[in-house]
Amino acid sequence: MNNEAESIRRCVAGAVQKLAGEPGPLLEILHAVQDELGCVPAEAIPQIATALNLSRAEVHGVVSFYHHFREHAPGRYVVQLCRAEACQSMNARALEEFVRGKLRLNFGETTPDGRVTLEPVYCLGNCACAPAMMVNGELHGRVTPERFGEIAKEWGVAP
Amino acid sequence: MSSSVTIYVPGDASACSLGADRVAHAIEAEAGRRGRAVQLVRNGSRGLYWLEPLVEVVTAAGRVAYGPVTPGDVSKLLDAGLLEGGAHPLRLGDIATHPYLASQQRLTGARLGVVDPTSLVDYVANGGYVGLHNALAMQPLDIVRAITDSGLRGRGGAAFPTGIKWQTVHDQKAAQKFITCNADEGDSGTFSDRMLMEGDPFSVIEGMTIAGLAVGATQGYIYLRIEYPHAARSLAKALQVARAVGYVGQDILGSGKRFDIAVRLGAGAYICGEETSMLESLEGRRGEVRVRPPLPAIKGLFGQPTVVNNVVTLASVPVVLARGAQFYKDFGAGKSRGTIPLQLAGNVKHAGLVERAFGLTVKELVYDYGGGSATGRPVRAVQIGGPLGAYLPVSQFDTPLEYEALSAKNALLGHGGVVVFDDRVDMARMARYALEFCAVESCGKCTPCRIGSARGVELVDRIIATRAGANGANGAHDSNLALLDELCDTMFNGSLCGLGGLTPYPVRSALKHFPEDFLPGARAPHSNAAEAAASVRMR
């Protein structure tokens, strides 16, 4: 526990030292922290606030405003399913139902073994190859339930 | 036996989503096994997405294309003489002569898929940086005048004349001015910004640099959405190259003029595509919309005069400076001058990028280019301009895709995305989705958007329930429809920005053109359960 607190402290200190001199640096710092820790833990917020001379509420307000920032580390595989119109026109709703059934997850949830987190996303710019999905930054196009099953097998999800 | 063969395999995000990376690896591995040397170039996409991954081989007779290529095809392709442009069922010949491309007027996207995106040599060899060289020899006001004369209007959606915006920033007296590039392309059905940043990043950099010279700004920011990691890599590399050679930095090409660019990543918020919200986000705050006035051109980023332009707008600037305002203006119709990269997406056979002079009709785009629906079923509707754009029925497909003509039909061109739906689309659900999206993405600053969208979702849910006959009476149904219309009125007139203000477009157009989907007894093809469950935790 102490170790964890110390690694958060060190990570935030590093990000602050590197970026606090930039104009309007808060988002940059939050990105740096999340890139390293997988999330922006609640313990990081007072330290960031102090460094930037902001209130904790202001920092928390920014973290909670943006869909990308999270307070808890996600599963090993972050699956972002596109819900926007172009994907809907190519059966994304049916795919969504299939994926949620297959993973037994609602949006925002992580499998109990910490393997997969399911998130909604509203457009990945892959609208010419819908429906689209992104997994840990890797984009997939024309995703069918069958194709999803194949990809999920690679994460160790039973077919 | 022979020297190295150059092969293009797109590194474009969409092409990669269809396996382009694996195709590239397979080509390297298979060629290696055969003792053949190949040089892979990861170009952008030409925008014919049904043919991706599209592999091009440089032969003595020019570039020969093959597609769509899967990793499993590679071995047989090499057997068929891929490296010499040999015959194979996937062989397409010179892709530039493909009717889909040959009929286009690629000005802004001229280099897409043609060049190595981060090769400055390629960029310059294909007309790049002519505009900047010309601009460096001009007075700032003359640059602004060229943009004004070209008739270029903001391609992000608002269609505001770019020259007037630049003039306003130029005329401000300030110690620091900024150029910001809005690369928060969040509209469903749009990907032209992404294609340009991935496939021709120097065009964006050159456009921003010219803008800086024109208005007297020395610092630029590209506000890039986090959903575009491929574009982030491409821009970072291109900036590094441009800086090393002196195209950006302290002394641009020895002119004594200064301009630098930084990329800032968004964090997943559709609203940050709204210009004032984007500025808030760049300043490190919640992306809440600012009340205007003051305009960003007068008081923008960090309170300084700021140009906010979309990626396509900025990437079009070098064309104007290189070939002249009149050249650019000669394309187009009415008050919509120049070309527009239309993005054809969704349920369509030949989805892709179609850059043409303004004036192409929806019908020409959807059928002549698109080839009808991907499913082979009849097309029923298109949504133009993203999630805040109107739905048009087939009966209005004669409408030209330009600002005024669409505005006359209570529609908008937006960022030029056109999403096709077949006859299975349920327009009541699409109306519900528009409101749901607004509720998810609202910044919360103004009430009509924050509360109106949530109430709107509930209202459409009641309409859908009545439609299915669940709680019957026609009287309730009529009053729900009247209430929805009133709510749209409030959102349209009372919202601070386009999110709440334009959400009524898809809702009202669905109601107007597809009233049968809202009526009691209308077909209710899907169960509501999945959607209700999804709404529980949308984010």
Q: Checking DSSP bridges between strand B55-59 and strand A138-140, what pairing results, if any? A: unpaired
- Cross-chain Cβ contact B374/A109 below 8 Å: no
Neighbour tally for B409: CB within 10 Å: 13
- Mutation target to probe the A interface, by most A beta carbons within 10 A, among B188, B301, B445 is B188
B392 touches chain A (CB under 8 A): no
Compare CB distances from B191 to A108, A128, A142 and report the shortest one's residue: A128
pLDDT (0 to 100) of residue B533 = 40
Q: What is the distance in angstroms between the Cα of A86 and the nearest Cα belonging to chain B?
A: 4
Q: Checking DSSP bridges between strand A138-140 and strand A133-135, what pairing results, if any? A: antiparallel
Q: What is the distance in angstroms between the Cα of A139 and the nearest Cα belonging to chain B?
A: 5
Structure tokens at B233: 């890599």
B residues 84..113 contacting A (CB < 8 A): none
| DSSP state at residue B424 | T
- Cross-chain Cβ contact A89/B347 below 8 Å: yes
What is the C-alpha to C-alpha distance for residues B489 and B39, in angstroms, rounded to an integer?
59
Q: Does domain B120-329 have CATH number 3.40.50.11540?
A: yes
- Mutation target to probe the A interface, by most A beta carbons within 10 A, among B178, B227, B440 is B227
B504 preceded by cis ω (within 30°)?
Answer: no
pLDDT (0 to 100) of residue B534 = 42
B52 touches chain A (CB under 8 A): yes
Count of helix runs (H) and strand runs (E) in chain B? 22, 16
B427-536: CATH topology is de novo design (two linked rop proteins) (1.20.1440)
Tell me the DSSP string of B441-502: H--SSSHHHHHHHHHHHHHHHHHHHHHTTTT--HHHHHHHHHHHHHHHHHHHHH-SSHHHHH
- Cross-chain Cβ contact B534/A69 below 8 Å: no
> How far is CA B37 from its chain centroid?
37
Condensed to tens digits (0 to 9), the pLDDT of residues A44-75 reads 999 999 999 999 999 999 999 999 999 999 99
B residues 288..347 contacting A (CB < 8 A): 288, 302, 343-347
Structure tokens at B518: 């809202």
A8 pLDDT tier (thresholds 50, 70, 90): very high
Sequence ranges of the domains in chain B: 5-102, 120-329, 332-422, 427-536
pLDDT (0 to 100) of residue B473 = 59
pLDDT (0 to 100) of residue B537 = 37
pTM of the entire structure?
A: 0.96
What is the C-alpha to C-alpha distance for residues A17 and B231, in angstroms, rounded to an integer?
27
What is the C-alpha to C-alpha distance for residues B157 and B154, in angstroms, rounded to an integer?
7
Neighbour tally for A148: CB within 10 Å: 21
Strand partners for A65? none
- Cross-chain Cβ contact B49/A128 below 8 Å: yes
Which residue from B minimizes the CA distance to A84?
Answer: B188
What is the C-alpha to C-alpha distance for residues B352 and B329, in angstroms, rounded to an integer?
25
Residues in chain A, total? 159
Query: What's the first-to-final CA gap in chain B, in angstroms?
Result: 58
Sign of CA dihedral B172, B159, A128, B52: negative
The helix (run of H) or strand (run of E) holding residue B373 is none
pLDDT (0 to 100) of residue A157 = 86
Is B291:B250 a contact under the CB 8 Å cutoff? no
Compare CB distances from A128 to B14, B185, B425 and report the shortest one's residue: B14
- Sheet holding B379-384: strands in order across? B352-357, B339-346, B417-422, B379-384, B391-393
A155 touches chain B (CB under 8 A): no
- Phi and psi of B41, rounded to 5°? -115, 125
Report how far apart, in Å, the C-alpha atoms of B125 and of each of B111, B122, B129, B255, B311 are.
10, 5, 9, 22, 22
Which residue from A minimizes the CA distance to B225?
Answer: A124
Condensed to tens digits (0 to 9), the pLDDT of residues B153-183 reads 999 999 999 999 999 999 999 999 999 999 9
What is the C-alpha to C-alpha distance for residues B272 and B116, in angstroms, rounded to an integer?
30
Is 0.95 exceeded by the ipTM?
Answer: yes
Neighbour tally for B439: CB within 10 Å: 20
Residue A18 has pLDDT above 80, yes or no: yes
Using only C-alpha atoms, what is the Rg of chain B? Answer: 24
Strand partners for B249? B259
B5-102: CATH topology is Glutaredoxin (3.40.30)
pLDDT (0 to 100) of residue B474 = 65
CATH of domain A77-154: 3.40.30.10
A residues 62..121 contacting B (CB < 8 A): 62, 65-69, 83-90, 93, 96-97, 100, 106-109, 119-121
Is B181:B315 a contact under the CB 8 Å cutoff? no
Residues in A touching B387 (Cβ below 8 Å) = 84-85, 122
Sign of CA dihedral A139, B266, B296, B435: positive
- Cross-chain Cβ contact A66/B194 below 8 Å: no
Residues in B touching A104 (Cβ below 8 Å) = none
Is B483:B459 a contact under the CB 8 Å cutoff? yes
Residues in A touching B23 (Cβ below 8 Å) = none
| DSSP state at residue B249 | B
What is the C-alpha to C-alpha distance for residues B106 and B357, in angstroms, rounded to an integer?
9
Is B434:B484 a contact under the CB 8 Å cutoff? no
Report how far apart, in Å, the C-alpha atoms of B4 and of each of B21, B83, B84, B206, B502 are.
20, 10, 11, 32, 54
CB-hemisphere CA count at 13 Å for B150? 26
- Cross-chain Cβ contact B351/A30 below 8 Å: no
pLDDT (0 to 100) of residue B3 = 82
Residues in A touching B354 (Cβ below 8 Å) = none
Residue A1 has pLDDT above 80, yes or no: no
CATH of domain B332-422: 3.10.20.600
A residues 32..61 contacting B (CB < 8 A): 58, 61
What is the C-alpha to C-alpha distance for residues A121 and A141, in angstroms, rounded to an integer?
14
Is B337:B150 a contact under the CB 8 Å cutoff? yes
What is the C-alpha to C-alpha distance for residues B508 and B313, in angstroms, rounded to an integer?
29
Strand partners for B91? B66
pLDDT (0 to 100) of residue B426 = 97
What is the C-alpha to C-alpha distance for residues B400 and A23, in angstroms, rounded to an integer?
44
Structure tokens at B77: 């392709």
- Cross-chain Cβ contact A122/B425 below 8 Å: no
Mean pLDDT by 10 residues, chain B (539 residues): 87 98 98 97 98 98 97 97 97 98 98 98 98 98 98 96 98 98 97 98 98 98 98 98 97 97 98 98 98 96 98 98 98 95 98 97 98 98 97 98 96 97 97 98 97 98 84 74 97 97 98 94 51 39
> How far is CA A36 from its chain centroid?
13
Sequence ranges of the domains in chain A: 2-65, 77-154
Could you give the 3-state DSSP secondary structure of residue A134? strand
Which residue from A minimizes the CA distance to B343?
Answer: A128
- Cross-chain Cβ contact B17/A132 below 8 Å: yes
B524 touches chain A (CB under 8 A): no
Nearest CA-CA partner of B238 in B256, B261, B218 = B261
- Cross-chain Cβ contact B345/A86 below 8 Å: yes
